[in-house]
Each structure stands twice: as structure tokens, then as C-alpha cells.
Amino acid sequence: MGGDAIASHDEDSSLEEEFSLRSSSSSAFLRDYLSTKVVDGSLNGENRVVSRAAGVKGSRSSCTLDFEANERKKQNLYQEILRSYDSYSELRTNDTNLEDVKDKILSYSPGAWIEKVGGLKLNDYDVPKTLCLMLIGPRGSGKSSLINKIFKVFEDDIFAPVRAQVSYSSHIGDGTYFLQEYMIPRDSTSICFFDTRSLSDGSQDNDRMLNHWMMKGVRHGEPVVRDTDNDNLRKTMTYKAYQNGYNYSKIRKVNFVIYVVNGLSVLKEMENASDLESSYTKTIANTFKSPWLSFKDDKPVLVVTHGDLLSLSDRARVRAHLGELLGIPPTKQIFDIPESDSPGTELTICRMLQYAIEHAERNYPHKISTMDKVRRASLPLHVILFLLVLVVAIALAYHNSMHTLRAPQAFAGKVHGFHKKLKFPEKTTKIEWHKIRHIW
């Protein structure tokens, strides 16, 4: 895409028609929107509450007031989401904003957007040489396609081949089996993206993978092996990984996460109330809220794909539903990026990247201070001193015990020597009484 910022005539006309109809039909659609269980599955029950409350003249219950306030909030949110799509029509006559954001990202270097809060300076942060953004999402969410679209935005060569391998059918295989690193732009080392294997329906596999990536880091070419993979697949992936020498790749710490979901799959579950707790929605809710993906209070940025297969009103409904499901603002943290090539899509991609970079920079860890280094270095010294004291104590105890055992023998030896020094008189001669009996 890059320099090609012109959409097809049919695409422009259909989009203009949809925007022209938006203002005239917004009220009617809002009534239809509120009659469905888009955000709150208990809407029909609440309508019954309103009907009962209407029969009470001159009074409204607190439940009714809460319901009315909640519905106004939903209407305002939906209108705000619709207004966020105005960038599509605005950019047809003015693309200055798009070029400004692109230039800002292209000239970015790690650490340039750090907010120096708390009296800290740039040198106080542990800034990586390359900012690492990791893409995750369920099967068929469009992670690889998103990477290719990002490349088209920031590369001038419109004939450059796509870089990430895209699966034609999401029902066959899992797409990416090995972690893939992509530098954007190609000749830069400022920003890299990591394409990952799709999340599985099993929460244990997902939790183990996310824990490994966020705590141990990611490296290009590393195989992503699940516990549920069969032995043949495990052996094949391990062999290919070592054959390509992935263990020589640099390990990078993930600085922020981009979560990608398929808008069409979300809408299908929204239209079928019985499927709202199905595997796709449950996987999104469980993994998005995983503590491994949070950076302090910041959760991942969410990208909704396949919007070109939906109407504008359905795209707004999907964003509102995901915002309610995940607890994030739909117009600030959820970005609708369809497959169509248009200036509006390019601007959405740039704004999404700007959000991810700004929040990654805000959560860089602090450097280890000199005193911390001394404390960490002195920790082994404490251990050594403790061991030395322990050895000395044992030696003294051993010496004292041996001294106690030798004391009786030494005393006996001393008594024997003293006995020798003393000069006792010689034994007296035996008296022969028969020779002196005349004395009597």
C-alpha cells in the first residue's frame, strides 16, 4: 500500500453510500440495536421491568433509573464508535494527518517517546535496542495478514512481495508453527513484530505458551509445541527448528502485545445467544485478561479484522460488544482494520501502532542502580561469610570435644609423673622374730 493511497471506485462509492445513510437511519438502527442482546443478555427482562414500572404513576424505581442510564450510555457509546469511522470520508480530501503519523513512526527510535515521570531521566530506564511487539490471537484471526498490511503502509515499493505466510483456509492447520520476526521497515532495527502460532481452545496450552513468551522472551524460528500435538508433528517441528539454527537467534523481551480477533467470528456468536459462551469468545476473554499479557495496568491493544465482510453497523456492534466483554474502551483501545486498502485503513494501522509504542515506552523497566548492583553483588559475599563462620564454629566445637576426651588421660599421665618425682622410702626389711625372741 505505502504510496498507493487510492481506493477503488466501487469501494469508495459503497462506503460513501453507507456513510450517507448512517445519519438518516441511526435512530432506527439504535432502536433495533437496543432490542437485541448485543451487550446485555438480560435486555428483555429489563424491558419487562420498565413496563411494570410504567404502570406506577408518578414514580420510577431505582432499577428503572439504572436501566435508562445504562441504555443512554450504550447509545452514546455506539454513536461515538460510529463517529470514529469518519476518518474514512475525511481522508478522501485531506491525508495530512496520515502522513504526519507515518513520519512519526518511521522516525521512531526506542526511548524517544518515554514519559519522564517520577523525576526519572532517559538514562534511568532499561531501553531495548529494538522495540518488540508480539501478535497473538485465535485461529483465523488474521495475524499474518495484519503484518503484511503494516508492511504495505510503511514501504514505498508497492510491488514488494508479502513477507508473512497467510493460510488460505483457517480450517486447515494452525498457520504459523514457528515464531517469525519481522523488522518494520525492512532496513530498520527500531521496531520488530513477532508472528505467533494461534491460540488453542485449551486454556492450559495457552497459559503455558504465554508464560514462556512473556517471561523467557521470543526468538526467530523457535517452534511452538503444544501438549496436544501428536508425536510426528513434535518431531518434525523440532527437527526443522534445529536444522534452521533457531537457537542462534537473539532472544527478545516482549515490550507490548497486539491481540487480533476475527470480527466475523465474534458477530456469529453475538447473533446466536446460545453460542455466547462458545470456545471462540471464551478463548478471547480468558487469554486477553491473562496477567502474563498485562504491563502494570496496561492490557493489550485489540485489533478487529475481516470488517470488510460486515456492514458498518455490525462492525460498530462488534466493537461495543468486545469493549463490554473485555472491559476496555472501544474507541480508544479497539481498532477496526479491514482487508480493504484505503487511506482510512492506513490511518487506523498507524494509530494502532502509535498506541502500542506509547504504552510500551511507558512500561520500560528501570535500570539497576549502583547500590542495587552492590547489594546483588554482596549477596554471595554474605553467603561466603556465613559459610566461613559456620566452618570456624564447627572447628571450635570439634577442638573442644577432643580436648574434653583427652583431659582424663592427661590427668592420669600427670599423676603418674608426679608419683615418679616423689621419693618414697624403700620398703622395710622383713623382721625375723625368731632371732630376737630372747629380747622378750
pLDDT at position 252: 96
Least confident of 46-50, 137-141, 287-291: 46-50
pLDDT at position 46: 41
Question: Per-residue pLDDT for 264 more than 80?
Answer: yes
7's CB contacts (< 8 A; 6+ apart) are: 15, 340, 341, 342, 343
72 or 87, which is more confident?
Answer: 72
Strand order in the sheet with 256-262: 180-183, 191-195, 131-136, 256-262, 301-305, 334-336
- 21: which 3 cell numbers? 445513510
Domains defined for the chain, CATH in brackets = 9-81 (no CATH), 95-367 (3.40.50.300)
Tens-digit pLDDT profile for residues 116-159:
787 888 888 999 999 999 999 998 899 999 999 999 898 876 67
What average pLDDT does this structure show over 343-356?
92
Using DSSP's 3-state secondary structure scheme, residue 260 falls into strand
Averaging pLDDT over each range in 236-250, 385-399, 408-422, which range is the top one?
236-250
Rg (CA), the chain: 39
Question: Per-residue pLDDT for 341 more than 90?
Answer: no
pLDDT at position 83: 85
Q: 181: how many CB neighbours lie within 10 A of its CB?
A: 18
pLDDT at position 242: 82
Question: Per-residue pLDDT for 197 more than 90?
Answer: yes
pLDDT at position 251: 95
48 or 205, which is more confident?
Answer: 205
Q: Identify the bridge partners of residue 181 per DSSP, sorted by sequence position.
A: 194
Instruction: Return contacts of 263-267, CB within 8 angstroms, 24+ apart.
Output: 263/304, 263/305, 263/306, 263/307, 263/309, 263/310, 263/314, 263/315, 263/318, 263/336, 264/306, 264/309, 264/310, 265/138, 265/140, 265/306, 266/304, 266/318, 266/321, 266/322, 267/310, 267/314, 267/317, 267/318
Handedness of CA 113, 118, 122, 127 (dihedral sign): negative
